[in-house]
Chains A and B, each alone.
Chain A
Amino acid sequence: MQNHLRRVLTRCYPNMIINYMKTFYSTIILAALCLWLSACKEPNIDEGILPFAVPTTVDADGGNWRTVVLKSTADITVPQPAATTSDTYQKELSDLKNGLLATTPEQNTAVNYWAVGGVLRWNQIARQLVAKYNNLPGYDPATGQVISADIANPNAGAPYAARIYALLSVAQYDALVVAWRAKYQYNRSSLEGQGVLSRVPVLNVPSYPSEDAAIAEASCQVLAFLFPNETAWLKAKAAEHKQSRIWAGANVNSDLKAGEDLAAGVAAKVIDRAKTDKFNGTNDPANVWTGLLANARYDQKWQSLGIPARSPVLPLAGLVKTWFDSTAIFRSSPAAPPATTSSEFQKALSEVRDIASARTRDQWRIANYWDNGANTYSLSGQWNFLAEDLIRQAGQNELRTARSYALLNRAMQDATTASWRIMYTYFVPRPSQIDPAIKTAVTIPNMPGYVSPHATVSTAAGAALAYLFPANANTLNAQAAESGLSGLYGGTHYRFDIDEGAKMGNLIGQLAVTEAKADGAK
């Protein structure tokens, strides 16, 4: 080939000197060609593939577990289903069997997607929506742009995110307790028991009412209330979720209908609670916070460090209704930290300064890992993400998954509320306000720093999860501690912010554990 080329070129262009090509050089040209060929479009983010986790228990007593918002499962009635011998049911069953023979690839994709777990999937959806909408209004330090009004969210902040996860998980949990009670009350045989070969593993519980329809409807309604702009998209997701159970061969239509109806009743009650939880107005449009700042019992007053200065994040979020006993939570609220003139404070400040001036790569990594700032899942979402792995490893069924999330997210929302209340009591300045030479690994959150919400929330989350997943307790406690320290490594918190936050977080975590011990689940 090369010689041929040379001959042709030499004949045609005798004046030209053709360099002799060594075979070795062809590898370079070959490599260059391969590079061009491989230059295909690639996604920004690689998606992992989740295997199905097989639930380890059915929790037949789940209908007796203690509900959160519902006073009792009797608040919602689930009608008696038609007998499996009835014509209507037999018609549903034969329709389902015929449908199974004609499922499309798109339907199978939906089946596999939702079979990973309805509660897990809706939790992921909520995390994505939080990342989309948890966008602070005004000047954005990450881009230097003023965020336009259509995407800015005046309620954005950690309390906003924590509340979304808590309301979602509680609605899912209460709906599933009601579903479980009706399942074992009516005992409609699972489809597998009637000779249907389902496409994915199905939990061996009575099929009526469908737990998936209950999850889909409860999640969709609560999220649509919280994200009204996404209603159409959420409804499409919920419809797909429900239908996927028919395509999978797991439920017939009447199973879905009953699940949907009971969940609508539960969701209405959860939304009622959300309307009266005092979250509205926490962004303080009337600037009540300036009065609080003036009265703060600390020798230096917090200032916004952004340019231009902005009002702090959700100043009234410390007043949000708690899930656990608020008297118990605030009984031992931390006192003011040492005054800035004290030697203790100076010691704490120099610790921050020393770390900031010689920050290691690993300290940076930790600060960045736990940052969870604007347009992310938020810290509470990060813990939801971490819990997902534990839930899957433990093989928790839908009901147990919802319980785990409801417990975790209630603890985290209360911890967020508690830390917010302390922050806007003392208005303690961030280290960089006292010493502007302290540079931070992450953007300084636009709010006071005492107590550290990361330490409070993560300690509470770690305690709740350590109870639920005792085998992972050591890792979880280490993660919670690291999350607290991330503020010190990043340069945004003093050690006393973290220590006092962890104390509050631990107290709230213990309240969650007490609740979990008494809720009927073994």
Chain B
Amino acid sequence: MGVETHAQGHLDGFMRGQRKGSLAIIGSQETYDTYYVNRTETQNPNIGTVTTQALTLVGTYGLGYDLDLILSAPYIRTEASAGYSPKQESLQDASATLRWEAFDYKFGTSRLSWQFAVGYSVPMQNYVNDALVVIGRGSKNLDGRTLLHFKSRSFFLTGQYGYIRRGQVSLDHIVNTYDPGQLNPNSGSKVNVPDVTELIIRGGYVNKWLNIDVWGQRQSPHSTGTNIGPGIPFPTNAVGFTRVGATAYIRLLKQFGLTAGYGTTLDGRNTGKSTQINGGLVIGHWTANN
């Protein structure tokens, strides 16, 4: 049961502008002492509280006035406070996303933009993916989404809907659990990670120096998937969650700003009921510059 790919949720509705770039380094800490087995909240004294820290490098660059490239690479460390599960730390998944602003409508002072994004992420290291305390799921993911971004004066509202196709992963062992639908158990060690759909709504205030927003994110498993259970490989679990949070960005100098965020889990499935805080430095053009 790992943390989700850290690139997710970084996508906002603000285009960066042609040949304008930014580089951000964001540190985050996420903790949970309760997790969901299917949808049932569970606490486990053999694990205690799981704390995950991540350092993520995010780069954005405007390839065109309507085309952005967004890259990210996190380093993650996760640890349980009780029991005998070892600490895990490694580079997680590198991701690259192309975001294209397909249409841009102006109504007086308001603007509506319709964007499409395609992203791909791939594990940078062969980290452990089949344990209760892990840093990720180890799959290669293809992410397609569309965004509607509305801005009127200083207020904005962005909605995005996406589908994340997760590839197969190899377990360290032969698949050897009971599956009544499995006619032929000679399946080797490859399993499919369930695909998910994702809806994110973000709204807030933005001016030249400041950006504050609140967001809600809902990820739901698309494929059937399994639930956390003895013997069940963790990567095949159907993971979903509803999270809400807030982000703030403040521009201190022309090309330099700070960002901070908070997020918490309202509801989930086979994932931790986690709370996250993050903060980072941003060099270059971020949301408020546009």
Q: Which residues of A contact B (CB under 8 A)?
A: 13, 15-19, 21, 25, 28-29, 31-32, 35-36, 38-39, 41-50, 113, 124, 127-129, 131-132, 135-136, 140-145, 147, 305-308, 356, 359, 361, 364-365, 368-377, 381-382, 385, 388, 432, 436, 438-441, 443-444, 491
- Neighbouring B residues of A365 by C-beta, 8 Å: 172
Contact of B165 (CB < 8 Å), options: A39, A356, A439: A39
Contact of B187 (CB < 8 Å), options: A48, A140, A308, A374: A48
Tell me how far the C-beta of B135 lies from the nearest C-beta in chain A, rounded to whole angstroms: 13
Q: Is the CB of B42 within 8 A of A142?
A: no
Contact of A144 (CB < 8 Å), options: B37, B67, B128: B37
Contacts known (A25-B67, A361-B128, A369-B172); A46 close to B102, Cβ less than 8 A: no
- Neighbouring B residues of A491 by C-beta, 8 Å: 84
B178-212: CB near A (< 8 Å → 1, else 0) gives: 11011111111011101100000000000000000
- Neighbouring A residues of B176 by C-beta, 8 Å: 127, 131, 372, 376-377, 381-382, 385
Contact of A375 (CB < 8 Å), options: B107, B172, B222, B232: B232
Q: Is the CB of B222 within 8 A of A44?
A: no
Contact of B86 (CB < 8 Å), options: A17, A21, A45, A359: A359
Q: Is the CB of A144 within 8 A of B46?
A: yes
Q: Is the CB of A140 within 8 A of B163?
A: no
- Neighbouring A residues of B117 by C-beta, 8 Å: 32
Given A39-B222, A42-B223, A385-B186, 14 new contacts (CB under 8 A): A19-B104, A29-B116, A38-B165, A43-B192, A44-B226, A47-B184, A131-B178, A143-B42, A143-B230, A144-B47, A306-B46, A368-B173, A443-B84, A444-B84
Residue among A38, A45, A356, A374 having the largest count of chain B Cβ atoms under 10 Å = A45
Q: Is the CB of B184 within 8 A of A124?
A: yes
**Bound CA span A425–B117, Å:** 64
- Closest B residue to A233 by beta carbon equals B180
Tell me how far the C-beta of A488 lies from the nearest C-beta in chain B, rounded to whole angstroms: 15
- Neighbouring B residues of A440 by C-beta, 8 Å: 84-86
Q: Is the CB of B224 within 8 A of A36?
A: no
- Closest A residue to B79 by beta carbon equals A439
Q: Is the CB of A143 within 8 A of B44?
A: yes
Contacts known (A140-B230, A376-B231); A32 close to B178, Cβ less than 8 A: no
**Bound CA span A43–B195, Å:** 11
Q: Is the CB of B165 within 8 A of A376?
A: no
Q: Which of B145-178 contact A (CB under 8 A)?
A: 145-146, 163, 165, 168, 171-178
Q: Is the CB of A375 within 8 A of B224?
A: no
Question: Interface on chain B toward A: helix, strand, loop, or mixed SS?
Answer: loop
- Neighbouring A residues of B187 by C-beta, 8 Å: 45-48
- Closest A residue to B120 by beta carbon equals A31
**Bound CA span A29–B117, Å:** 8
- Neighbouring A residues of B225 by C-beta, 8 Å: 44
Q: Is the CB of B175 within 8 A of A45?
A: yes
- Closest B residue to A33 by beta carbon equals B144
- Neighbouring B residues of A44 by C-beta, 8 Å: 179, 191-192, 194, 223-226, 236
Contacts known (A42-B223, A439-B85); A371 close to B173, Cβ less than 8 A: yes
**Bound CA span A359–B127, Å:** 12
Residue among B40, B45, B87 having the largest count of chain A Cβ atoms under 10 Å = B45
Q: Does B8 contact A (CB under 8 A)?
A: no
- Neighbouring A residues of B177 by C-beta, 8 Å: 131, 375-376
Contacts known (A143-B228, A144-B37, A368-B172); A19 close to B84, Cβ less than 8 A: no
Q: Is the CB of A28 within 8 A of B47?
A: no
**Bound CA span A136–B100, Å:** 53
- Neighbouring A residues of B144 by C-beta, 8 Å: 31-32, 35-36
Q: Is the CB of A144 within 8 A of B192?
A: no
Q: Which residues of B contact A (CB under 8 A)?
A: 35, 37, 40, 42-47, 66-67, 82-87, 98, 100-107, 116-118, 126-128, 130-132, 142, 144-146, 163, 165, 168, 171-179, 181-188, 190-192, 194-195, 222-226, 228-232, 236
Q: Is the CB of B98 within 8 A of A28?
A: yes
Tell me how far the C-beta of B148 lies from the nearest C-beta in chain A, rounded to whole angstroms: 14
Contacts known (A31-B118, A124-B185, A376-B177); A19 close to B102, Cβ less than 8 A: yes
**Bound CA span A142–B163, Å:** 30
Contact of B106 (CB < 8 Å), options: A16, A45, A50, A128: A16
List 7 interface pairs A-B (beta carbons < 8 Å), by A numbering: A19-B103, A28-B118, A32-B116, A368-B172, A374-B230, A375-B231, A439-B85
Contact of B182 (CB < 8 Å), options: A47, A307, A374: A47
Q: Is the CB of A49 within 8 A of B184?
A: yes
Q: Which 10 A-B pairs have the closest CB atoms?
A: A144-B44, A375-B231, A439-B86, A368-B172, A132-B178, A35-B144, A131-B178, A307-B45, A32-B144, A374-B230
- Neighbouring A residues of B165 by C-beta, 8 Å: 35, 38-39
Q: Is the CB of B126 within 8 A of A361?
A: yes
- Neighbouring A residues of B224 by C-beta, 8 Å: 41, 44
**Bound CA span A218–B213, Å:** 68
- Neighbouring A residues of B191 by C-beta, 8 Å: 44-46
**Bound CA span A16–B182, Å:** 56
Contacts known (A28-B118, A45-B191); A441 close to B175, Cβ less than 8 A: no
Q: Is the CB of A142 within 8 A of B236?
A: no
**Bound CA span A15–B105, Å:** 9
- Neighbouring B residues of A382 by C-beta, 8 Å: 174, 176
- Neighbouring B residues of A145 by C-beta, 8 Å: 37, 40, 42
Tell me how far the C-beta of B268 lies from the nearest C-beta in chain A, rounded to whole angstroms: 15
- Closest A residue to B142 by beta carbon equals A35
**Bound CA span A143–B46, Å:** 10
- Neighbouring A residues of B226 by C-beta, 8 Å: 44
Q: Is the CB of A46 within 8 A of B168?
A: yes
- Neighbouring A residues of B183 by C-beta, 8 Å: 47, 113
- Neighbouring B residues of A31 by C-beta, 8 Å: 118, 144
**Bound CA span A44–B126, Å:** 21
**Bound CA span A142–B222, Å:** 25
- Neighbouring B residues of A45 by C-beta, 8 Å: 175, 179, 182, 187, 191-192, 236
Q: Is the CB of B172 within 8 A of A373?
A: no
Contact of A128 (CB < 8 Å), options: B168, B171, B182: B182
Contact of B66 (CB < 8 Å), options: A13, A19, A307, A375: A19
Tell me how far the C-beta of B196 lies from the nearest C-beta in chain A, rounded to whole angstroms: 10
- Closest A residue to B48 by beta carbon equals A307
- Neighbouring B residues of A35 by C-beta, 8 Å: 118, 142, 144, 163, 165
Q: Is the CB of A375 within 8 A of B230?
A: yes
Q: Is the CB of B86 within 8 A of A375?
A: no
- Closest B residue to A386 by beta carbon equals B174
- Closest B residue to A356 by beta carbon equals B86
**Bound CA span A374–B229, Å:** 10
**Bound CA span A308–B45, Å:** 8
Tell me how far the C-beta of A23 lies from the nearest C-beta in chain B, rounded to whole angstroms: 13
Q: Is the CB of B86 within 8 A of A441?
A: yes
- Closest B residue to A364 by beta carbon equals B128
- Neighbouring A residues of B178 by C-beta, 8 Å: 128-129, 131-132, 375
Q: Is the CB of B190 within 8 A of A373?
A: no
**Bound CA span A28–B67, Å:** 11
